[in-house]
Amino acid sequence: MYRYIANRVFLVIPTLIGAAVLVFLLMRLIPGDICAIRLGSGGTMADPRAIARCHAELGLDRSLAAQFIDFAWGFVRLDFGVSMWSGKPVAEEIAARLPISLEIALMATVLAIVIAIPLGTISALKQNSWLDHVVRVAAIAGISTPSFWLGIVSILAVLEISNLLFGAPWMPPIDYVPFWQDPLRNLSIAFLPALTVGYRYSAVSMRMTRSAMLEVLREDYIRTARAKGLIEKIVINRHALKNALLPVVTLIGIEFAFLISGLVVTEQVFNINGVGRLFVLAVQNQDYTLTQALVMLTVVTFVFVNLAVDLLYAWLDPRIRFG
Amino acid sequence: MVDLPYTAALENTVEAPRARSGALDFCRREPLGTFGLVLVLIMAVAGLGAEWIAPYSPTANDFAAMTEPPSWAHIMGTDQFGRDLFSRIVFGARTAFIVGFSCALVGGFAGLVLGVASAYFGGRIDTVLQRINDVIMAFPLIILALAVIAVFGSGVFNVILAITIPLIPRCARVVRSSALAIREVPYIDAARACGFGHTRIILRHMVPNVLAPFLIMLTAFVGQAILAEASLSYLGLGVQEPVPAWGLMLQGGAEEYATTAPWIAIFPGVAIALTVFGFSLFGDALRDALDPKLRDR
């Protein structure tokens, strides 16, 4: 087990270095001088002294190797530099928006688990029944429906329903309030975006639960459990589901790391000032320091969530650590 | 290894009826997959024949008919500039298919070659390629696409580039795992013993044997690329006006006119969802049909 952990942790290092090099080089591939583009946006000519100052601030007047070391070392110290757009430290910009994004991501995960595992299990147990077909179609629809469109349609539905019930349209608030200050207001901000992102997430997990359950239900030990007269509930809960959930746990972990992609678009629809929206604003405003910090943060989150999932999987399944 | 003339002739005579009965068998066994294929074909025909199907120009403004509800004159209504939504959706199908197929084909074939080569050569080449794959796969698709767009800017070509890059390692990873199993089978050793070159072994003996997982992935890639393009266009970072694109149609007035003209938000979304739904259903059915383990499930 220790050898497996060491090997897996060791693999993280080249991935992170490679990702840092890729992000660093990608941002340096921008055609022209990023300071001239930024300062001269709108077709105006930028002052050469302002451009020189911008170069010095970003460290662009130094060698590529020195810039990379600075970038990587800054990242290790959580010092991502200053936003080219707002002039505030990037860490500050991200920290202000992280709570709402994290809350939506966690709510989406809970919703996905609550929907996916029971429905995926029932679908596998009632294979080829009408219920199975409905669940499968709903799952494929979840993967196919763009989350931003689902967001627009859900806003439309809330407006229409509230208008019908209360005689005036109601929209969820957009200004973030922490849960402990006003739980109702906080949940009314986060619930719809979480449902929108969670539907796709649950669809992916539902398909995996169904397919893993079908695989496990055909195993010899399930036949043995049934042959020795165990009641079906125990066979399903104790023998089948426990083993089928292993790949589902992995998928839920990986999808959690990918939630940022869903949030990028969904936060835009619901006008939520989270990390996803910040990402879009950074790209739109050509804020390269902010963009590279956000890309790198996403990658680091993904790599570490992946590592945690792999280690958890190895702990749960001895075939992996001894394989 | 040697192509005998009579074998080729025999293959030519039996191939057509076998393909026809195979297609019929697929339709019978996979009704949902067939439905998916029909959806995809409808959208493809709409995209190909947009000039003949669309009653109006997708870019023609009619300020006398702004935000008009669906009627006989405009079956899906008009948007806030008086443009016919049905015509824009039909032309949008072309944009979606151009982006979807370009990304899937380029990304898929690059991934196919890299994945098979990685498995075939093994050793250091495999290790280096896998580490590069690890790095690129650590970027979620939309995030890497946004980073590429931040560098190169928006527009159809840059969107295709931005979506294709993340697809390559995803394809290479799946193809490699299938190719690793094939590398060990005796006919590859026999091909080496015959003195065939690496290119011939890879292209003629390994690639055809990993085509099943590759084709399944290709259908999924087209759907993913269409969704990614729609998301980027919705964010204003993908295809730009006046090119008709489904995501872009939702960016304009969809939210602003949500209560007064909901058709602006509904129809483009339905078009995206139905197309990707079609590709997903067809891809799933293809997987079930090509994987003997799943055939009876």
The helices-and-strands tally (H runs, E runs) of chain B is 12, 0
Q: What percent of chain A has pLDDT over 90?
A: 9
Long-range CB pairs of B150-155, under 8 A, 24+ apart, other chains included: B150/A27, B150/A30, B150/A282, B150/A283, B150/A286, B150/A288, B150/A291, B151/A26, B151/A27, B151/A29, B151/A30, B152/A29, B152/A31, B154/B232, B154/B236, B154/B237, B154/B238, B154/B239, B154/B240, B155/B239, B155/B240
Q: Do A284 and B273 touch (CB under 8 A)?
A: no
Determine the Cα–Cα distance for residues B233 and B172; give it in Å rounded to an integer. 27
Length of chain B: 297
Residue A245 pLDDT > 50, yes or no? yes
A204-225: average pLDDT = 88
CA distances to A237, B183, B212, B217 from A276, rounded to whole Å, are: 38, 43, 37, 28
Instruction: Name the residue among B266, B267, B163, B172 with its Cα closest to residue B223.
Output: B163
Residues of A in contact with B150 (CB under 8 A): 27, 30, 282-283, 286, 288, 291
Determine the Cα–Cα distance for residues B103 and A128; give it in Å rounded to an integer. 34
Determine the Cα–Cα distance for residues B36 and A88; give it in Å rounded to an integer. 50
Q: Buried b / exposed e across A144-164, counting CB within 10 Å, b at 16+?
A: bbbbbbbbbbbbbebbeeeee
User: Concatenated DSSP letters for B125-155?
Assistant: HHHHHHHHHHHHHTS-HHHHHHHHHHHH--S
Domain boundaries, chain A: 16-76, 98-284
Determine the Cα–Cα distance for residues A10 and A15; give it in Å rounded to an integer. 9
Give the pLDDT confidence of A41-99 residue by residue, as tens digits.
Answer: 655 667 788 888 888 877 778 888 888 888 888 888 888 888 877 888 999 999 988 88
Q: How far is CA A28 from the centre of its chain?
A: 26
Instruction: Name the residue among A28, A19, A24 with its Cα closest to residue A55.
Output: A28
The pLDDT of residue B10 is 41
Residue B148 pLDDT > 90, yes or no? no
Q: How far is A135 from chain B (nearest CA, A)?
A: 13
Q: Of the candidates B135, B269, B280, which has its C-beta nearest A15's C-beta?
A: B135
For residue B164, being part of any structural domain is answered with yes
Ranges A114-118, A308-312, B11-15: which has the least confidence: B11-15
Residue B91 pLDDT > 70, yes or no? yes
Higher pLDDT, A233 or B10: A233
Determine the Cα–Cα distance for residues A171 and A185; give it in Å rounded to an integer. 12
Q: How far is A114 from chain B (nearest CA, A)?
A: 24
Domain of B154 in residue numbering reads as 94-297
CB atoms within 10 A of CB B83: 23
For residue B244, being part of any structural domain is answered with yes
B95 is written with which tokens? 């944009």
Q: Of the candidates B143, B265, B273, which has its C-beta nearest A261's C-beta?
A: B143
- Residues 6 or more apart whose CB falls under 8 angstroms from that of A69 comprise none
Q: How far is B174 from chain A (nearest CA, A)?
A: 16
Q: Amino acid letter at A60?
A: L
Band of residue B160 on the pLDDT scale cut at 50, 70, 90: very high
A178 is written with which tokens? 């922490």
Q: Of the candidates A286, A291, A303, which has its C-beta nearest B138's C-beta?
A: A303
Q: What is the CA angle A302-B269-B58, rounded to 5?
A: 120
Q: Of the candidates B139, B149, B273, which has its C-beta nearest A145's C-beta?
A: B273
Q: Of the candidates A14, A214, A279, which has its C-beta nearest B131's C-beta?
A: A14
B9 is written with which tokens? 């002739």
Q: How far is A228 from chain B (nearest CA, A)?
A: 25
B209 is written with which tokens? 């044997």
A41 is written with which tokens? 């946006």
Determine the Cα–Cα distance for residues B112 and B207; give it in Å rounded to an integer. 8
Chain A residue with Cα closest to B144: A295
Contact status of B231 with chain A (Cβ, < 8 Å): yes
Determine the Cα–Cα distance for residues A32 and A188; give it in Å rounded to an integer. 45
Q: Do B143 and A264 touch (CB under 8 A)?
A: yes
Number of domains comprising chain B: 1
**CATH code of domain A98-284:** 1.10.3720.10
- At B161, which CATH number? 1.10.3720.10
Do B250 and A145 meet the contact criterion of CB atoms below 8 Å apart?
no
Instruction: Name the residue among B219, B190, B216 with its Cα closest to residue B204.
Output: B190
Residue B3 pLDDT > 60, yes or no? no
Determine the Cα–Cα distance for residues B87 and A69; give it in Å rounded to an integer. 53
Segment of A56-65, B158-167, B287-296 carrying the highest mean pLDDT: B158-167
Instruction: Name the residue among A78, A74, A47 with its Cα closest to residue A58.
Output: A74
Which alpha helices (DSSP H) does chain A contain, by range?
2-28, 34-39, 48-58, 64-76, 90-125, 130-144, 147-166, 183-217, 220-227, 232-234, 242-269, 275-284, 288-316, 318-321
Band of residue B295 on the pLDDT scale cut at 50, 70, 90: low
Q: Buried b / exposed e across B117-154, counting CB within 10 Å, b at 16+?
A: bbbbeeeeebeebbebbbbbbbbbbbbbbbbbbbbbeb
Q: What percent of chain B has pLDDT over 70?
A: 90
Q: What is the DSSP letter of A168?
A: S
Do B169 and B113 meet the contact criterion of CB atoms below 8 Å apart?
no
Residues of B in contact with A264 (CB under 8 A): 142-143, 146, 231, 235
Determine the Cα–Cα distance for residues B273 and A311; give it in Å rounded to an integer. 36
Determine the Cα–Cα distance for residues A310 and A10; give it in Å rounded to an integer. 13
Do B259 and B18 meet the contact criterion of CB atoms below 8 Å apart?
no
For residue B268, being part of any structural domain is answered with yes
Q: Of the candidates B32, B258, B297, which has its C-beta nearest A127's C-beta?
A: B297
3-state DSSP percent of chain B in helix, strand and coil, to 5: 75, 0, 25
Do A51 and A33 meet the contact criterion of CB atoms below 8 Å apart?
yes
Chain A neighbours among B 1-40 (CB < 8 Å)? 32
Band of residue B17 on the pLDDT scale cut at 50, 70, 90: low
Chain B residue with Cα closest to A306: B138
Contact status of B180 with chain A (Cβ, < 8 Å): no
Do A205 and A255 meet the contact criterion of CB atoms below 8 Å apart?
yes
Determine the Cα–Cα distance for residues B225 and A122; give it in Å rounded to an integer. 31
Identify the residue whose tokens are 């430290």.
Answer: A89
pTM of the predicted model, to two decimals? 0.83
Average pLDDT across chain B, whole number? 84
- Residues 6 or more apart whose CB falls under 8 angstroms from that of B3 comprise none
Give the pLDDT confidence of B201-224 residue by residue, as tens digits.
Answer: 888 888 888 888 888 888 889 999
CB atoms within 10 A of CB B175: 27
Contact status of B210 with chain A (Cβ, < 8 Å): no
Determine the Cα–Cα distance for residues B227 and B229; give it in Å rounded to an integer. 5
Band of residue B292 on the pLDDT scale cut at 50, 70, 90: low
B6 is written with which tokens? 């009579």
Higher pLDDT, A37 or A217: A217
Give one word for A182, left, alpha or beta, with left for phi > 0 and alpha for psi -120 to 50: beta
This model of the complex carries an ipTM of: 0.80
Segment of A172-181, B20-29, B44-53, B137-146 carrying the highest mean pLDDT: B44-53
Residue B89 pLDDT > 90, yes or no? yes
